Structure 1
Amino acid sequence: MENNEVNVSIPVIDMQKFPDPEEYKKLREACEKWGTFRIVNHLIPSTLMAEMKRAVRSLLDLPFEIKKRNTEVIPGSGYKAPNAVNPLYEALGLYDMGSLQAVQTFCSQLNATPHQREVIEMYGKAIYKLAVDLGQKISESLGLAGDFFKDWPCQFRINKYNFTPESVGTLGVQTHTDSSFLTILQEDENVGGLEVMEKSSGAYIPVQPSSGTLLVNLGDVATVWSNGRFYNVKHRVQCKEATIRVSIATFLLGPKEGVLETPLELVDSDHPRLYVPFTYEELRKLRLSKNLHAGEALEQLVRIHS
């Protein structure tokens, strides 16, 4: 069903409706059945989002010699140049968006202007707060109490797709899952192309951009943390038109120290533990070393530890 598309809308979560039990129910169902949802009323000003997009576009237009200064802290966290697998795609990134020092280092690497620095720092602070708050609400939707995500790092990646007339109808980025717990995506409001795989049918659903909103995808860590309840949604980017597409992604990763494991409250006789505890770094290394980018790494990790 690789090329099958269906015309279905993904769930929409209103952040201002919490703590309404119905909104928690919607959130849990979105995590379990879809692995993706759009959030509205998220309190990040549309003006800041617009300023951030302008800053991002300027940084991605920098010469290669400057962009390559954006070095990695962990694999995949620095500059990513176009390659044979994804020839139309490049990205800049940093680890950890919640650290002011890391944000300042990122800006210095790219010779960001004082205004760009101010915008990036403001956006980083706001999006990190939102990511942790959203993780907390997701845990509460399962009936859990506790501060699970407070110290989890947020990786930041700004993406540029250089679509050409010849590339229309091809993939801008291969089908994959994210390794993170969740990803908050500020889409390009003018250029679509993102498609998510529906869990029940395996069909691809085009995600139409919606200005002022943010898209959330759940990744591999969410599946492990929830003991298999949450869907790590597969997604891809299709080239729909010959233009430049820019997106801004924030990944709430996994524990910075110690192992990743399912909370005890989510393990019982009806839901036996599915995953032996492992570190987030193990997951990342396995995905990269064996090219397991579409969720297969979780099965591999279970076999490794069994």
Structure 2
Amino acid sequence: MAMCNMPVIDLQESADKPHEMKKKLREACEEWGCFRVTNHGVASSLMVEMKKVVRSLLDLPLDIKMRNTDVIAGSGYMPPSAANPLYEGLGLYDMASSEAIQTFCSQLDASPYQRKVIETYGKEVHEVLMGIAEKMGESLGLEGVEEYFKGWACQFRINKYSFTPQTVGSSGVQIHTDCAFLTILQDDEHVGGLQVMNKFGSFVDVPPCPGSFFAILGDIAHVWSNGRFGYVKHRVECKEASVRVSIASFLLGPKEGEVRAPQELVDPNRPPLFLPFAYQHYKKLRLSNNMRAGEALALLHTHSDANELARSEQN
């Protein structure tokens, strides 16, 4: 398995060399659909403390973790399953909401210190998510980009993989794309296993890089950019007998209204590639058709014979 020599986006460069950074960011979004993020402004000490809190929450008894119920489909506790027997995760929908964070913490009997760490982390990572999304829009020549993402939902998910000597070489999480615009991942700083598919269709390893985030573009970024940005298939493989923990924060899509490309990205030479759709509809479409690796986008393509199926399911 090859190592992943992917783009690195230094967010400090956005202040020092904005044009160069935006060019590099657009190329990363188009060619890879993912990139490493450095100088993001979140203190390493906070990332370390958040990882300790996450590990303690994931080690809670099952009956407590089961209190972490869904707000939208797939947003709460996910126990090990037939598809992903080595994986479990806890979820928080709307990480930008202090009330939602407190509800999440209460479900899990988090201590006052744990609550403070989670709320501080959520606020700072939300700012990173929104900042990168805005720079992605600016890289396409758009202005006033912050308006495009107002009212978009953000979610985070804390993940635990229980690897044993017997599971080395097996799958931790099956191949999938993210049902989101952008994911910011704080990966396990010691235990690898994340792999992304490159443009040649081969999986490459993403080695741990402490202190950085790993950005992954999802299906919604592909639609919103009218096909300009890629969306990357990825998976987690068991590399060693160890517990692997990661924290994924997602910019999902609009809570209200529809996902569609901005008018500036549509013209006679590049007509809209996808029908407008509600985010929740697309998520349900993926789940109901067991399409977890971007296949559901074909059902919403403007020239797809499956449009009627997608419309009927929406209604």
Aligned to 2:204: 205
CA displacement, residues 172-197 of structure 1 (integer Å, 9 cap, x when unaligned): 00000001000000000000000000
Q: Could you tell me how far 1:8 is from its partner in structure 2?
A: 3.7
- Report the counterpart of residue 227 of structure 2 in structure 1: 228
Number of the residue aligned with 1:169: 169
Q: Tell me, in whole angstroms, the C-alpha distance in 2 between the residues paired with 1:271 and 1:41.
A: 35
One of 125, 128, 137 as aligned partner of 1:127:
125
Distance 2:23 2:48 in 1: 32
Equivalent residues of 1:52, 1:119 under 8 A apart = yes
Write out per-residue CA displacement over residues 221-255 of structure 1, whole angstroms, 9 at most, x where no aligned residue: 00000001111100000000000000000000001
Partner of 1:159: 159
Q: Once the 2 structures are TM-superposed, how far is the Cα of residue 104 of structure 1 from its aligned partner?
A: 0.3
Who is 1:65 aligned against?
63
Distance across 1 between alignment mates of 2:76 and 2:12:
34
Contact 1:90 1:161 (8 Å CA) reproduced: yes
CA distance in 1, matches of 2:299, 2:2: 31
Equivalent residue in structure 1 for 2:33, among 17, 31, 35: 35
- Show the counterpart of 1:10: 6
CA distance in 2 between counterparts of 1:230 and 1:255 reads 18
Contact 2:180 2:219 in 1 (8 A): yes
1:271 to partner: Cα distance: 1.6
SS of equivalent to 2:3: coil
Tell me the distance in 2 between the aligned counterparts of 1:297 and 1:286. 7
Q: Which residue is 2:150 aligned to?
A: 150
1:34/1:231 contact within 8 Å kept? yes
Paired position in structure 1 for 2:93: 95
CA distance in 1, matches of 2:65, 2:41: 31
RMSD: 0.9
- State the secondary structure of the residue aligned to 1:25: helix
Residues 211-290 of structure 1: matches in 2 within 5 Å? 211-290=210-289
Deviation for aligned residue 1:6: 3.0
Letter paired with 2:158: I
Deviation, structure 1 residue 288: 0.7
For structure 2, the residue ranges without an aligned partner over 5 or more in a row are 309-315
- 8 Å CA contact 2:197, 2:232 repeated in 1: yes
Contact 2:4 2:207 in 1 (8 A): no
What is the TM-score normalised by the length of structure 2? 0.94
Tell me the secondary structure at the aligned position of residue 117 of structure 1: helix
Deviation, structure 1 residue 94: 1.1
Supply the distance in 2 between the matched residues of 1:10 and 1:270 (Cα, whole angstroms): 31
Query: 1:135: Cα distance to partner?
Result: 0.4
Partner of 1:190: 190
1:106-138 CA distance string (max 9 Å, x none): 000000011100000000010111111110000
User: Residue 100 of structure 1 contacts residue 121 of structure 1 at CA under 8 Å; is this kept in 2?
Assistant: yes
Query: Normalising to structure 1: TM-score of the pair?
Result: 0.97
Contact 2:151 2:256 in 1 (8 A): no
One-letter identity of the residue aligned with 1:68: M
CA contact (8 A) 1:132 1:150 kept: no
In structure 1, distance between residues paired with 2:166 and 2:267:
53
Task: Give the structure 2 partner of residue 298 of structure 1.
Answer: 297
SS at match of 2:159: strand
The residue type paired with residue 13 of structure 2 is K
Q: 1:151 offset after TM fit, Å?
A: 1.8
How far apart in 2 are the matches of 1:220 and 1:46? 30
Q: 8 Å contact 1:157–1:249 — kept in the other structure?
A: yes
Aligned residue identity for 1:9: N
Match of residue 107, structure 1, among 90, 105, 108: 105
Which deviates more, 11-20 or 60-69?
A: 11-20
User: Aligned equivalents of 2:262 and 2:164: distance in 1?
Assistant: 47
For 1:53, give the aligned amino acid.
K
Structure 1, unpaired ranges of 5+: none
Measured in 2, the distance between the counterparts of 1:7 and 1:192 equals 11
SS at match of 2:2: coil
Report the alpha carbon displacement of residue 58 of structure 1 after superposing the two structures with TM: 0.1
2:80 is aligned with 1:78? no
Distance in 1, matches of 2:248 and 2:174, equals 16
Aligned residues: 301
